Amino acid sequence: MTDVAADTERLDYARAAVEHAYDEGWTDGLPIVPATAGLVEEFLAATPRPPEEVIAAAPQLDRECTVEQAAVNAAMAGCRPEYFPVVLAAWDALMAQPVVTGGGWQSTSGPAPLIIVNGPIRAELGINSTGGVLGPGFRANATIARSIGLVVRNVLGIRPHELEQATQGLPGRWTLCVGENEEESPWEPLSVELGLAPGTNAVSALLLRTCEFVDNRHTTDPEELLWDFCDTAARTGTAIGRFSSAGLVLGVEHAQLFAGNGFSKADVQQWLYDHAIRSHADLERAGKGLEDRDAPGIDEYGLHMTPSPEQIPVIVAGARNAAMSMVVRPFGFRGWTRTAHPL
Amino acid sequence: MFEAMIDPTARPATSATGAALAPRPARLAGLTVGLLANTKKNAEPFLDEVGELLTAEYGVRNLVRRKKLDIAKTAPAEMRAELADACDVVVVGVGDCGSCSASAVADGLELEAAGVPAVVICSEAFAATADAMADLKGAKGYGYTRTPHPVAPLERGEVRERARRILPDLVGILTGRATAAA
């Protein structure tokens, strides 16, 4: 057999292996990398955690995921073995969230985990934190997030149209892993805000219902910019009573504009909490009038669209090439734990 | 081929070895019926209507109401034990979201395992997830009664009408006149 013929045969076999995974229902719709024992061993060698340690669970479904099962699915997702500690820390961060242990993966909201990585590990693994940070093109970002979805599907057994009941789902489900742009952020990294020492490699996570852009290259006034965020944060479509929420993935220019005008992250959070209010008249016009006006987050002016200042996640990510940001929508009635989990 | 490819899916859960259903009473007259509600909108009114109809039309003697606060999980063990202890049969509902429909079926099966016939009320929109949970628990084909979607925005009168419409099916499942499991 010629070299080309032999090579073609091997490539055909590789393609058949990918098709086999499809036939078995093991993929999220995209091709996977076939996991072999040797490949999984490489992943297990990348962590001191024992293969049998349970790192994720859905007790309501009698399902648990071990380090070893996570390794199989991370390999299939296209992760490199050295990404694996980030995958495990992401699970630590996710399993700390009440919405994750409270059935969130099965929800009609179809939420997407947002995985935020801090520390020098970003550069070591090539985790993008700058241009196109929420988009495709970066293996570590794409595959770490994807591995979470494969575990939910394959190990926890939560599959679309079965135990997963997303009404529409959302773009970005299983693709949102970002490095924080610590180098250009004017503020302390998220992991430091959440109590870890500077320079610690860590992961935070929350579930999102969507991201919505705010393009404001128009003003240099921090309060005008905040009003622009506020309009998006307080739109009625996202109002679900006192469980409404908003967070910010700030582009560098917006973050620097705030900091340059003396705003700390806490100031931005407080301002948004105070001003992101939707009036009773507007809510009523949209058929969302509130009966109980003494409930938490509801007053004579209307509905506070965030539960509290500290429940507004603020991270900095993206390129310093245009003044754009994203308003994100954390999902979960019991809020975000505000925890960063070391690798 | 592909024997060396590792299967990434979990092994079947240990509970999925075949769930036994509780023996059925021939009729509901004189019995105590448990009503296990979740926190979904209209769940309690729906069960209240079912309870009233069962009392008025089928001679049910007592109603025992419980409400679980975590929609995604089965009712706390103590609550299930109370219901199993006090009730002859239990009505569970309403399965009306992604996680709560599945957990309502799990509640039904837990009660069956404790020896109490149970019937789950589930919105038609969530039948797939209810079936998936029954399958997961080793009770493929577990019978539950379906009501059209949506349930949450209904007025009380509409809820009563829904309760009336499912009643024959619900009673059939509790008394074994409907096929409860394959």
Give A105-118 pLDDT, tens digit per residue. 999 999 999 999 99
The pairing of beta strand B145-147 with beta strand B118-123: parallel
CA distances from B113 to A302, B23, B106 (A): 48, 10, 10
Q: Which residues of A touch B98 (CB under 8 A)?
A: 103, 106-108, 163-166
Rounded distance between C-alpha atoms, residue B29 and residue A302, angstroms: 51
What was the pLDDT predicted at B11? 65
Angle, vertex CA A39, rays to CA A33 and CA A45, nearest 5: 135
Q: Report pLDDT for A296.
A: 87
Residues of A in contact with B100 (CB under 8 A): 103
Over the range B105-140, which residues count as b (16 or more CB within 10 Å of their CB) and which as e? Answer: bbbbbbbbbbebbbbbbbbebbebbbbbbbbbbbbe
The pLDDT mean for chain B works out to: 91
Chain A residue whose CA is closest to B13: A62
Whether the pLDDT of residue B16 is over 80: the answer is no
pLDDT beneath 50: ranges in chain A: none
**Cβ-nearest to A154 among B4, B9, B128:** B9
Residue B38, pLDDT above cutoff 90: yes
Chain A partners of B6 at a C-beta cutoff of 8 Å? Answer: 35-37, 40, 72
Single-letter amino acid, residue A77 = A
What is the radius of gyration, based on Cα positions, of chain B?
17
Beta-bridged to residue A208, according to DSSP, are: A112, A330
Order of strands, sheet of B89-95, starting from the edge strand that comes earlier in the sequence: B62-67, B32-37, B89-95, B118-123, B145-147
- Closest CA relative to residue A174, chosen from A24, A298, A32: A32
Its ipTM equals 0.90
Write down the pLDDT at residue A295.
Answer: 85
Residue A224's Cβ-count burial label (10 Å; 0-12, 13-18, 19+) is: exposed
Inter-chain CB proximity B10 and A40 less than 8 Å = no
- Please give the pLDDT value at position B10: 63
Write the single-letter amino acid at B72.
A
Chain B residues with CB under 8 Å of A59 CB are: 73
CB nearest to A103's CB, from B71, B126, B136: B71
Contact A161 B128 (CB under 8 A): yes
pLDDT for residue A241: 83
**Span B1-13, mean pLDDT?**
82
- Which of B3, B5, B103 is the mutation pick for testing A, counting most A CBs within 10 A? B5
Check if B72 contacts A (Cβ < 8 Å). Answer: yes
**C-alpha pair distances (Å), B145 with each of B118, B142, B163:** 11, 10, 11
Q: Specify the pairing of strand A63-66 against strand A54-58.
A: antiparallel
- Look at residues A157, A167, A55, A151 and name the one whose alpha carbon lies nearest to residue A107: A167
Best residue in B2, B38, B96 to probe A by mutation, most A CBs within 10 Å?
B2
Say whether B10 and A65 touch across the interface (CB within 8 A). yes
Name the residue facing B5 among A36, A60, A165 (closest C-beta).
A36
Q: Do A20 and B14 touch (CB under 8 A)?
A: no
Nearest CA in chain B to A34: B5
Q: Do B136 and A163 touch (CB under 8 A)?
A: yes
Do B4 and A36 make contact, defined as CB atoms within 8 angstroms?
Answer: yes
**pLDDT at residue A264, rounded to an integer:** 98
For position B182, what pLDDT does the model report? 34
Residues counted in chain A: 343
Whether chain A has a CB inside 8 Å of the CB on B41: the answer is no
CB A340 within 8 A of CB A190: yes
Which three-class secondary structure state does DSSP give residue B54? helix
Inspect the interface and report whether the beta carbons of B8 and A63 lie closer than 8 Å.
Answer: no
Which pLDDT does position B14 carry in this prediction? 52
Cβ of A168: how many Cβ atoms within 10 Å? 8
Among the listed residues A89, A84, A10, the one whose alpha carbon sits nearest the alpha carbon of residue A40: A84
Residue A197 has phi, psi (to 5 degrees) of: -70, 145
Segment A201-229, tens digit of pLDDT = 999 999 999 999 999 999 999 999 999 99
Give the distance from residue A69's alpha carbon to the nearest chain B alpha carbon, in angstroms: 7
The answer to whether the Cβ–Cβ distance between A20 and B5 falls below 8 Å is: yes
Q: Which residues of B touch A207 (CB under 8 A)?
A: none
Cβ of A107 and B97 within 8 Å?
Answer: yes
Residue from A162, A243, A288 whose CB has the most chain B CBs within 10 Å, to mutate: A162
By CB neighbour count within 10 A (0-12 exposed, 13-18 middle, 19+ buried), where does A300 fall?
exposed
Q: Distance (Å) from the C-alpha of residue A102 to the closest C-alpha of chain B?
A: 6
Q: Rounded mean pLDDT of B92-109?
A: 94
For chain A, the residues whose C-beta falls within 8 A of a C-beta of chain B are 16-17, 20-21, 24, 26, 34-37, 40, 59-65, 69, 72-73, 76, 102-104, 106-108, 150, 154-157, 159, 161-166
Given A17, A40, A163, which is nearest B133 (Cβ)? Answer: A163
Predicted confidence band at B17 (pLDDT cuts at 50, 70, 90)?
low
Contact A120, A199 (CB under 8 A): yes
Cα(A63)–Cα(A60) distance, integer angstroms: 8
Q: Which chain A residue is nearest to residue B74, measuring alpha carbons? A: A60
- A147: amino acid identity, one letter: S
pLDDT beyond 50 at B181: no
**Letter string b/e over residues A89-128, b meaning 16 or more CB atoms within 10 A of that residue's CB:** bbbbbbbbbebbbbbbbbbbbbbbbbbbbbbebbeebebb
Interface size A-B, in CB pairs within 8 Å, comes to: 107
Q: What is the pLDDT of residues B132-177, one digit of tens each?
A: 999 999 999 898 999 999 999 999 999 999 999 999 999 999 998 7
Measured in whole angstroms, the distance separating CA A288 from the mean position of its chain's CA atoms is 28
Taking residue B76's Cβ as centre, other Cβ atoms within 10 Å add up to 13
Q: Which residues of B touch A104 (CB under 8 A)?
A: 99
Give DSSP secondary structure letters for A96-136: TSHHHHTTGGG-TT--EEEEEEESTHHHHHT---STTTTSS
CB within 8 Å of A213: residues ≥ 6 apart? A324, A325, A326, A327
**pLDDT in the model for residue B1:** 85
Q: Which pLDDT score, from 0 to 100, does residue B180 have? A: 42
Pairwise CB contact (< 8 Å): B8 & A40: no
